[in-house]
Amino acid sequence: MSLVATLVSTPTAPAVGEDLVQRAAEALGSDSPPTILNPGIAADILFQGENASAADTKLRELIGSAPVDVFVQSQENRRKKLLIADMDSTMIRQECIDELAAELGLKDKISEITERAMRGEIDFEPALRERVGLLKGLPLSAIDSVLSNRITLMPGGRTLVQTMKANGAYCALVSGGFTHFTGTVAAMIGFDENQANILLEDDGKLSGKVAEPILGRDAKRVRLEALVAEKGLGFDETIAVGDGANDLAMIERSGAGMAYRAKPAVAEAADFRIDHGDLTALLYFQGYAETDFILS
């Protein structure tokens, strides 16, 4: 079987040097010259093998503590036609509900609940109702303030979406957060659609309630399955990326489930994991070179 191993580091600290790539190629018994996707940052190594997992283990032992991500997969169907992505702590650096809580001086209290929910220690839906309840009375103007002053995009996200779209892929942002944020973030990055929960309002303030049913773990999987049917795709043509427990269902259902700097249980369950690279790692994973990137 023809397999490909991809080594990726963060662009801000290149760690995929020629020596490492050569040693990795020798360890895999590759008889093809490595493909440098971005000098010092990403490289592909083609080799013949039957066990991607064993090759992954071998490479991780070789790399040791170096800040390099490893992906081993079949050469077939590398470039995906559907991206479905989480928003909080994936496409943006923050958790929106925690930043709203900061406006009330409740960030520590709410972020603790958020962390437990993302780790899968408590169910997402009741945890969301509890956190939203604590936001009761927050002026809607605080949402615009948070968007303007507290929310920042995750590096590489816009390049990821724009490059995949330029190559015919459909990109969906599906969040357990709120539409007040996903609409703006989706527009900034260039997603084709966005879905999230709806915060209910009362006289210009948050009512402390969220519209039911809550978009959580199962809803993300359902949207993935619906998009596959709508677009006439196979699941092997899809890639899902997220960091928390409520992303697990879509990560496990997609053809390539990617854990992005994720909670331990998510990283363990995903097909692949990004611990060091930025979101352009998902492009290198698909075989795109830096010269293919859309940098608009």
Active site residues: 86, 88
Given a contact cutoff of 8 angstroms between Cβ atoms, the answer to whether 72 and 5 are in contact is yes
Q: Hey, CA dihedral for 107, 113, 119, 123, is it positive or negative?
A: negative
Helices (H), 190-276: 217-231, 248-253, 264-269
- Which H or E run includes 272? strand 272-274
Q: Characterize 63-85 residue by residue with b for buried, 16 or more Cβ atoms within 10 angstroms of its Cβ, and e for exposed.
A: beeeebbbbbbeeeebebbbbbb
Tokens 């293919």 belong to 292
Q: Report the SS3 class of residue 162.
A: helix
d(CA 193, CA 187): 9
Given a contact cutoff of 8 angstroms between Cβ atoms, the answer to whether 179 and 197 are in contact is yes
Phi, psi of 107 (to 5 degrees): -60, -45
Burial class (CB in 10 A: 0-12, 13-18, 19+), 196: buried
Tokens 């470039």 belong to 79
Phi, psi of 225 (to 5 degrees): -65, -40
Phi, psi of 151 (to 5 degrees): -95, 125
